[in-house]
Copies of this chain bind each other. A is one copy, B any other.
């Protein structure tokens, strides 16, 4: 029997926090067993030639929504399949009770096993979950979720205080099916997390925050709806302007600073939001990390509106090219902790042609490395090593996966993707292997695509096609 199951030869490894290394990489038992120059092909059961290509640690797509709008098992299957196209080998999916997802409420001790069961055996990537406590009872379950299920990250949606997901109804309670959902509720979560953290000094327990402030949204949405202007993606951005992000950030960080809870500010969409986040980090003494998404890095509402359609409706809204550039700058200089897709498979029929009832969100996981490399590396000079940090190492560290995920190092899981940096393709829905029937990135020219994606030491994707059955496993993180 050969020493190694798999040998990736002749590639240039992008090793986070270290640099680019020209070396071979050998896999045994699903983990990286050796990195070296000229590892003998004879030692390996299978050899993949990465000559002229870059080898990156499999992306950890830290913001995902399995099953938000569709059957969870189907969604897990089709959407993690799409992840492989983008070089993502781990997804961390948000789940909550209330409308969408399973469309019901109750304690997580009953519901979460159902979620795990629905996804089990259906995911092409490894996967974990962030859970949102929508009721006071669920807040009480946090210690058990950490200890028993290895869930170490939670979520609070700041705009559900006054709106449903689409911002079409203000009956938030019907939507969340939960308890009074406001900053008081947020405070209870933060307090519970701080208490629980004290029992787990080696973990990072954190709360992820969707930062848009609903009371302000009320005013701006009302103004936009009454304005007589076209109800398009620009209108959507004006109805939820950056000020709503800034205010939500100020609120949440004041509370998190008080309790000392670690927080992740999700999908910061605008220059104003990132600047406020930076200011907050200086003012409060707690651990704060900042996420941006592919679409806020690359899409501009005016461009999308010119093309027409509401496929690009998402929360927070798509902003402007000025914001794109600012976000890239902060990816480069290190303020941004990670980049994720916020993938939510949403069919065109649920977008429709009326802005307000249209469902928010869309897929993007298939573009995670391609867009970072094309727009970040080739176009703006972001080094590959930094790209590996924001796509893989940083989220792995933030979410207690470091040691298994996030780097190319002996002992880590053999999750990696081999990228042809020069391969250029125009994005089209078909390429992405998602269940979604449209794509807001359609037509964008992208240079730099994964040609092989390896999950747990097994080649799971090659040259546009998935290989084999779903092999992903659930990631306990405690």
Report A's interface with B, CB cutoff 8 A: 3, 15-19, 21-23, 26, 28, 33-40, 180, 182-185, 187-188, 213, 215-219, 243, 246-247, 250-251, 254-255, 258, 279, 283, 402-403, 407, 409-411
Contacts and interface: CB of A to CB of B under 8 A. Distances in A.
Contact of A402 (B19, B180, B216, B258): B19
A216 B247 contact: no
Contact of A36 (B36, B183, B213, B255): B36
A247 B183 contact: yes
A409 B184 contact: no
Give how many copies assemble into the complex: 4
Contacts of A33: 36-38
Nearest to A218: B184
A218 B187 CA distance: 11
Given A18-B409, A254-B246, A410-B21, A218 B180 contact: yes
A223 B39 CA distance: 61
Q: Which 3 A-B pairs have the closest CB atoms?
A: A34-B36, A17-B17, A184-B219
B34 A37 contact: yes
Interface of A is mostly: mixed
14 contacts: A16-B17, A17-B18, A18-B407, A21-B411, A23-B410, A35-B410, A36-B36, A36-B410, A182-B218, A183-B215, A183-B216, A184-B217, A243-B258, A283-B283
A247 B243 contact: no
Contacts of A16: 17
Contacts of A36: 26, 33-36, 410
Contact of A250 (B40, B185, B251, B407): B251
A23 B403 CA distance: 14
Contact of A247 (B17, B35, B255, B410): B255
A246 B255 CA distance: 9
A28 B37 CA distance: 9
Contacts of A247: 183, 251, 254-255
A410 B254 contact: no
A18 B388 CA distance: 13
Nearest to A255: B247
A40 B3 CA distance: 10
**Residue in A3, A180, A410 whose Cβ sees the most chain B Cβ within 10 Å:** A410
A195 to B, nearest CB: 14
Given A34-B35, A36-B34, A39-B34, A215 B411 contact: no
Contacts of A409: 15, 18, 21
Given A28-B37, A34-B36, A258-B243, A188 B410 contact: no
A282 to B, nearest CB: 10
A14 to B, nearest CB: 13
A271 B370 CA distance: 48
A8 to B, nearest CB: 13
Contacts of A19: 402-403
A184 B39 contact: no
Nearest to A258: B243
Given A34-B34, A279-B283, 8 more contacts: A3-B40, A15-B409, A21-B411, A22-B411, A23-B410, A183-B213, A183-B216, A185-B215
A182 B162 CA distance: 11
A403 B217 CA distance: 42
A87 to B, nearest CB: 21
Contact of A411 (B37, B182, B251): B37
A319 B332 CA distance: 39
A388 to B, nearest CB: 12
A145 B285 CA distance: 44
A412 to B, nearest CB: 9
